[in-house]
Amino acid sequence: MSASLNPNLLLAVPLAPLAGAVIAGLFGKTVGRRGAHAITILGVLVSFIISAMVLKSVAVDGARFNATVYEWMTLGGLKMEIGFLVDGLTAMMMCVVTFVSLMVHIYTIGYMEEDPGYQRFFSYISLFTFSMLMLVMSNNFLQLFFGWEAVGLVSYLLIGFWYTRPTAIFANMKAFLVNRVGDFGFILGIGLIVTYAGTLNYAEAFARAPELTKWTLPGTDWLLITVTCICLFIGAMGKSAQFPLHVWLPDSMEGPTPISALIHAATMVTAGIFMVSRMSPLFELSQAALSFVIVIGAITAFFMALIAIVQTDIKRVVAYSTLSQLGYMTTALGASAYSAAMFHLATHAFFKAVLFLGAGSVIIAMHHEQDMRRMGGLRKYMPITYLTVLIGALANAGLPPFAGFFSKDSIIEAVHLATTPGAGFAYALILAGVFVGGFYSFRLVFFAFHGKERFRQAPAHDSHGGGHAVHDAHGHDDAHGHDDHGHHGPVEPKESPWVVTLPLILLAIPAIAAGWLIGPVLYGGYFGGAIFIAPEHPAIATMAEEFHGVLGMIAHGLQTPPFWLALAGAATAGYLYLLRPELPAVIKEKSGVLARILEEKYGFDRFNDWFFAGGARLLGRGLWKGGDQGLIDGVAVNGSAKVVGWVASLVRLFQSGYIYQYAFSMIIGVFVLLTLWLNRA
């Protein structure tokens, strides 16, 4: 593989996981448990190896690929094709997706060991990987939309994997419906591009994009390019869980921990970030769209981080952390720092996967207990899990020299230098979010792994209160036949088996080292023509001039507000949860309504239940009572019957059965006809 990429080899990248999914899904009973995990892991491994080869070829040899693989059909001048676009942007996503997916597959062997849906789960996560690869490798909007919807469909199956549990049913329906709202905007944006650019191909659409700046949406004075970009971004708001379409993501914790890691770290939620970066030639033409993006991202980054500080469910802390980090990526997009957003996407994939899988390891050790208030002191029982989670927390907080520092600091600096309207507001929020991020990251570490061993104080499964009693379902659904796991005896935590700890170790390595690639990735021209930045948005160019190597960035970072804010957040968490563990309860009590607002998640769930769910029920009842029963049954069906009955009651007066009455009627009729005919004449 030199300057040209083999299309057959590229085709094997998505097809290998698909083959594993088909075999494990359709022939799961035949191949058995070992066969199911072996074939799916092999498929993802093949995909990762080829992806790594592609990345090397793209980064070192400058190879590129953009061609049609299969032409599905032609409608007039509109071609519907399956094709691949492989450049620096795609190659990075391919490696991130396949590597994290491979780690999750291995981890699943241990986590889902006793689940009767073992083969089905491996089929789902392999199919999930295929869908994501089709999305990121596409060179046209049709294939992009296929991958977009396929990822959403499989996530629906995975979030509701334990389908007999009402909470799982509610969670997957919530994810499905919220994403449909975003997808409606997404397909409107694609429709506008097809209508006015006349093509589904990326390159052709981008070449015609300047023409869209000359037109307005019919009947309005809105620029067509602005409306198109905002519609596309609404799709990203759904997939990447941005305010106010963020509500589905924390509830997706109802799915097993491995898929929580896969959804949150490397695949589904990053699709929106990738899509906007790919569409940079469009977004750079609309200042209004960029302002919309940067404000939404900043709001998500700060306000979702605040919710994380009151969560007691270990997985939900990590989930709200994901929301906040996605907000940082989105803010970078609005600042035209697409490369910084993608770099944070990559580093975040590794350290967030560590945090999720580490949380899963803790859940296994705690016999599926998720409430951090019943943990404490776990570091001496689980040294490997503790060390890897600590690395993930350090990276998540953005402390040097861990990966998160380089990518998050770059985003903050880019927003500070951005000329986009709303950048000042965004900078203030994400800077404040750094303190909160440091606090909740180390709150998790100190709460779960340090301090008093609280798991011996109470039974493992009484009420958690505060709405956090939702467990991981693994081993909790009688219908699934899980054993008891010793739930009724004292909890004796121990380190997880190697199939769980090995992925943690392998993910922790890039969580430390990936950030050191910032030079070539951000400032070395790695992305090349994959990302377009207009001259009036010079943030990344200015940062490149001031970049003096990794060590220079670390030295400079130690003198900047983000470092001290993150350190202050970590120190505050240490003081509250190690030195003065009685204070958090006092602060919560004194906070009153503020704490209640955070626990209620700003009332979004309550509002959605009242307005959207309640409104839908009210509309349904109105259509049922008024439309179905009143109009259709009452007027159309029953009304017709009443009219027929009334006519029949009149007609029956003339249907007596006597010949003389019929003769009289005929005479009257002839008289009337003759009268009318004579008057007409």
For residue range 287-342, list pLDDT tens digits in order: 999 999 999 999 999 999 999 898 888 888 888 898 899 999 999 999 999 999 99
Query: 371 pairs with which residues across the strands?
Result: 313
β-pairing verdict for 65-75 and 78-86: antiparallel
Q: How far apart are CA 292 and CA 522, in angstroms?
A: 24
In three-state form (DSSP H/G/I as H, E/B as E, the rest C), the secondary structure along 107-158 is HHHHHCCCCCCHHHHHHHHHHHHHHHHHHHHECEHHHHHHHHHHHHHHHHHH
Which token pair is 28? 């799961």
Instruction: List the one residue out of 74, 95, 76 whose CA is nearest residue 86.
Output: 95
Question: What pLDDT shows up at residue 492?
Answer: 79
Q: How far apart are CA 174 and CA 387, in angstroms?
A: 35
CB distance 178 to 172 below 8 Å: no
Structure tokens at 373: 């208030």
Residue 509 has what pLDDT? Answer: 93
pLDDT value at residue 484: 35
- From CA 403, how far away is CA 126, in angstroms rounded? 27
Please give the structure tokens belonging to residue 97.
Answer: 């997706």
Upper half-sphere CA count for residue 152 (Cβ side, 13 Å): 26
Alpha-carbon 76 to chain mean position: 35
Q: Which residue has the tokens 């629906």?
A: 156
Quick one: which of 100, 442, 435, 467 has its CA closest to 301? 435
Other beta carbons within 10 Å of 676: 10
Averages of pLDDT over runs of 10 residues in the chain (681 residues) are 76 94 89 90 95 92 88 82 91 92 89 84 91 93 91 85 80 82 90 88 89 83 90 90 82 75 72 92 92 94 91 87 92 93 92 90 85 87 93 92 92 92 93 94 91 70 40 41 42 84 92 90 86 89 88 90 93 91 85 82 73 67 72 73 76 68 75 74 57
Rounded Cα–Cα distance for residues 114 and 242 (Å): 35
Contacts of residue 7, defined as CB under 8 A and 6 or more positions apart, other chains included, come to 65, 67, 69, 84
Please state, in angstroms and rounded to a whole number, the distance separating the CA atoms of residues 461 and 387.
27
In the chain, how long is the greatest CA-to-CA distance?
A: 118
Q: Is the peptide bond before 281 cis (omega within 30 degrees of 0)?
A: no
Give CA separation, 366 vs 66, 341, 358, 453, in Å. Answer: 49, 36, 12, 12
Give the count of alpha carbons within 13 A of 401, CB side only: 13
The predicted pLDDT at position 41 comes to 93
If you ran DSSP here, which 8-state letter would residue 538 be given?
Answer: -
Alpha-carbon span 4 to 62, nearest angstrom:
9
